[in-house]
Amino acid sequence: MANDPFSNGTTMKPLLVLTAIALLAAPASRGDTLPRVLERAILPIRVQAPLWGRFETAIVNPRPYANPYRDVSLDAVFTRPDGGTVRFWGFYDGGQTWRMRFMPDQPGEWRYEARFSDGPPAAQGAFLCVPSDLPGMIAPDESNPAWFGYRGGDAVLVRGLHVGDRFFARNWDDPANPADGERRSAFLDWAQRQGYNLLSVASHYLNRNSAGRGRGWNTPKLWPLSAAEYQSMEAVLDDLASRRILAYPFAGFFGRSSSYPDNPADQALYLRYTYARLGAYWNLLLNVAGPEPLLPNNAYLTRDQVNRLGSDIQRLNVFAKPISIHNPTGNDLFLDEPWLTYGTLQGPKTVDRAALAAILLRNHHPRKPLLAQETLWSGNINHIRSIRRDYTDDDLRKNAIVIHFSAASLVFADNDGDSSSGYSGTMDPKDCRQNRHDAVRLAWDLCAALPFAHLQPCPGAVSGRHAFCLADPGREYLIYLERTAPVIVTLEGGPYEATWTNARQPSGLEAGGAVRTGQVLEPPSHGDDWILRLRRSAE
């Protein structure tokens, strides 16, 4: 058994193995060792799994356990088409059923071997990973990790919307009740038409059990561990994945006012089980805890606890999913920690766009994307207190562009009070202030048409508080002017060809001629705010 990665020199007991996707294994006879059992068990069936999708197999284990979540584990080794190996693990899914889920990242034939920790053989088999229309797993962009992208694919302009605590609730959207069984679908249909590709979801994974928030909403109760509760959550996540919508768990693994485990052994069990079930979702970001576990005067975790939990999650992170933490207003407290792979920022809440960019850039990391999570929430009481009024539609549009030109990804919200209120909280069409969503979409559509993915913030290239710059110095510059006013540009090399786009009505381009460094550039006299694109001319 020298080639058996699970060999411990013991003999195996009888076990019937079943798979969820057409792979069957025969029962072993007493005294068989693992290699002979598995060699006989494989049937000549070619199972296919989509690239960046999920391979899933179910295994029946008839042994009785007092607590199957704790008493036994299902461990596997997956062999890639290129010969490399990946160790992963399965999970108990109720009754006598265990499952393994795996996200293949390489086309070709994959092989796997699995066994239970108490000795019985589980399964051995193969599947063929085939190309798919999935965009790839959400991750820092491979060529320019200051932006989000899809692993194996392109950079992505995140268009995020925060939604309230009821999103996963069974007593808000019950398919068995015709009166409300289409609420979630109707909301998601609207979100797709609006262009949203990420939802920040409150009370996900755990319920925020406080009045006016999650209390009263029958969201999945993941702790203590319950396979049925996870299945309820996964049905919604599967719908999001089919719609190509990303999910950001606002509360994370350890949510405020939630029933998360508080001792390290239980925390390790909870993290391992949750990752076994959700790690293979290409559209899911990870978040250690939220909202604001280190909120001054109301913290519920310490910095050391967050770092320990973040490191624990990263050690389990077989698929290298993005990991962050929800921060209080101010700077990202964990941006340089090795376990954190994307930043999350709350604020600043302002219409001073120079101050907005300054704080975003202070928290910019050239190799970690930045999620502007609570930086532009219309109708939110905390934002209204900060700016002494609500945002206008023009504020929303201009702030959204400045956030993008600071290399941050925006999560918008349409509130009417706190973060669990308004259309973002009720998801009821009568509460939607559509003009606000349209204003932000106009900014996103403009930014999506720009070649931003290879650029980084370059504030030193422009003068004045009204100018914001993304650049690949020496090759290309994008400059946003929030008002019609001159700007001085400092360029490497040149000359550059200039084109102007009206940011309010981006229907056409206006030529700006050749530009060299140090010039004072005047935008067209008509219009309000402008995008200037400078591309290196042929010498």
Please tell me the predicted confidence (pLDDT) of residue 494: 84
Q: Cα separation of 108 and 4, whole Å? A: 23
> Between the CA of residue 383 and those of 53, 288, 349, 370, what are the distances in Å?
39, 25, 5, 20
Closest CA relative to residue 489, chosen from 519, 464, 457, 514? 519
Q: What is the pLDDT of residue 180?
A: 65
Mean pLDDT, rounded, of the chain:
90
Predicted pLDDT of residue 179: 64
Domain 144-257+285-448 CATH (choose: 2.40.128.50, 3.20.20.80, 3.30.70.20, 3.30.160.60): 3.20.20.80
Whole-number pLDDT of residue 34: 33
For 52, other C-beta atoms within 10 Å of its C-beta total 25
**CATH 3.40.50.1980 is held by the domain 34-130:** no
* pLDDT tens, residue by residue, 96-142: 999 999 999 999 999 999 999 998 778 999 999 999 999 999 999 99
For the chain, which ranges sit under pLDDT 50?
1-45, 539
Q: Where in the chain is the domain with CATH 3.20.20.80?
A: 144-257+285-448
Looking at the chain, the domain(s) classified CATH 2.60.40.10 span 34-130
Give tens-digit pLDDT for 352-382: 999 999 999 999 999 999 999 999 999 999 9
E-assigned strand segments in 182-287: 198-201, 246-249, 254-255, 286-287
- SS3 of 384, please? helix
Given this structure, which CATH class describes domain 458-536? mainly beta
Give the pLDDT score at 20: 34
